[in-house]
Amino acid sequence: MEKIKGTNQRAKEYKIIIVNGKKIYEYQHIWEKHHGKKPKEMMIHHINYNKKDNRIENLMLVNRKEHGKLHRKENKKIIHCREDAYKVILLTG
């Protein structure tokens, strides 16, 4: 595991992989393999709120507004599914 500045404890739970030399969230990569390129303005939500559960059936495309609502509804304080949240890179080849 390689640390870069501003390591964020919460963000450590995201798994990041390198695809064609580009860093990408594993969940995003999995979603895109099934559905094609993710629209920029949309976010991928983990349905069961488990950031490590990157099974396609646990991933759901939502817009920011819906995403905020989902998290408020579940009263989850954790930040997840945020594309700018990660600070730790896991190299998985």
Applying CB under 5 A, the residues found at the interface with Zn ion are 45, 81
How many Cβ atoms are within 10 Å of 16's Cβ, its own excluded? 18
Nearer Cβ to Zn ion (31/45)? 45
Nearer Cβ to Zn ion (11/45)? 45
Residue 50 to residue 92: CA distance in whole angstroms: 20
Q: Are 81 and 11 in contact (CB under 8 A)?
A: no
Q: Are 10 and 79 in contact (CB under 8 A)?
A: yes
Which H or E element spans position 62? strand 59-63
Nearer Cβ to Zn ion (24/85)? 85
